Amino acid sequence: MPRVLLVEDDPGVREGARLALRRQGHDVAAAATGEEGLDRLRAFRPDVVVLDLMLPGMTGLEVCRRIRADSQVPIIMVTAMGDDMDIVVGLETGADDYVVKPVQARVLEARIRAVLRRLDTGPAPDGGGPTIETYGELRIDRAGLSVTCAGAEVPLAPSELRLLLSLSASPGRVFSRQQLLEAVWEHGYHGDVRLVDACVKRLRTKLGEPPRQPRYVQTVRGFGYRFNSPR
């Protein structure tokens, strides 16, 4: 039974979401504040966190930062309609996806199922090819779903790992943001390509990429992104 931690200060929204998720087969722990959410995170060890950004006291953004300091658990943030800057900042802080209020149970369930699938699967290596690939200082273990750079393990959230695996499967190929959105987040035509840009930014940071001249994940202006294979 997938475990979901729901951090939401509005009692009506919290209880409605909790009941809906339980009906869909999830084990749900709920918290009303950021501090309570962090306590529940340690005790409950959820598979996914649903986090409201507008929390009293400790904000959802600060909760997200603290979670990301030592955990790669998927985070779906909940934000008010039209708060575009909050969405961008939340994604860059470490959230994997988002839904807007009023939260529709079917949408939230679809997003939760998608991030749970990303926990379990990545682009599979082909049957005859190598599962460990080396690109300069970057080493990608496709079978073991692990990444090291300059000899140090790189802790990647599921969406970051899937993005890297998708891009590196075809070095030199240019992927549009929409193609990556569908491959990594399973969002259709109306998905938000800001998810891709924010995830690329986080991935580059974790790989120690120079901001203006990234070695591995490169921007092709006007088209999208490609994976470069340095010699």
Q: Is 61 a member of any domain?
A: yes
Q: Are residue 78 and residue 114 in the same domain, yes or no?
A: yes
The pLDDT of residue 101 = 87
How far is Cα 193 from Cα 170, in angstroms, rounded to an integer? 20
State the helix-helix crossing angle for 194-206 and 84-93, rounded to 10 degrees.
30
Asked if the structure places residue 30 within a domain, the reply is yes
Same-domain pairing of 19 and 115? yes
Taking only the tens of pLDDT, the chain with its 231 residues reads 899 999 999 999 999 999 999 999 999 999 999 999 999 999 999 999 999 998 999 999 999 999 999 899 999 999 886 678 888 889 999 999 999 888 888 889 989 998 888 776 555 444 455 688 999 999 999 888 899 999 999 999 888 999 999 999 999 999 999 999 988 888 765 568 889 999 999 999 999 998 788 999 999 999 999 999 876
Structural domain containing residue 171 = 132-227
Domain boundary among 120, 149, 173: 120
pLDDT the model gives residue 120: 67
Looking at residue 188, its pLDDT comes to 65
Q: What's the CATH code of the domain at 223?
A: 1.10.10.10
47 lies in some domain:
yes
The predicted structure's pLDDT at residue 134: 93
Q: How far, in Å, CA of 195 to CA of 191, rounded?
A: 9
User: Could you tell me if 168 and 107 lie in one domain?
Assistant: no
- Is position 125 within any domain? no
Asked if residue 137 and residue 93 are part of one domain, the reply reads no
Q: State the total domains in the chain.
A: 2
- Report the pLDDT value the prediction gives residue 44, as an integer from 0 to 100: 96
Q: Is 137 found in the same domain as 114?
A: no
- Tell me, yes or no, whether 139 and 108 share the same domain: no
CATH assignment of the domain containing 89: 3.40.50.2300
Q: Do 144 and 91 have their domain in common?
A: no
Q: Are residues 27 and 114 in the same domain?
A: yes
127 falls within a domain = no
Asked if the structure places residue 126 within a domain, the reply is no
- For residue 137, is it within any domain? yes
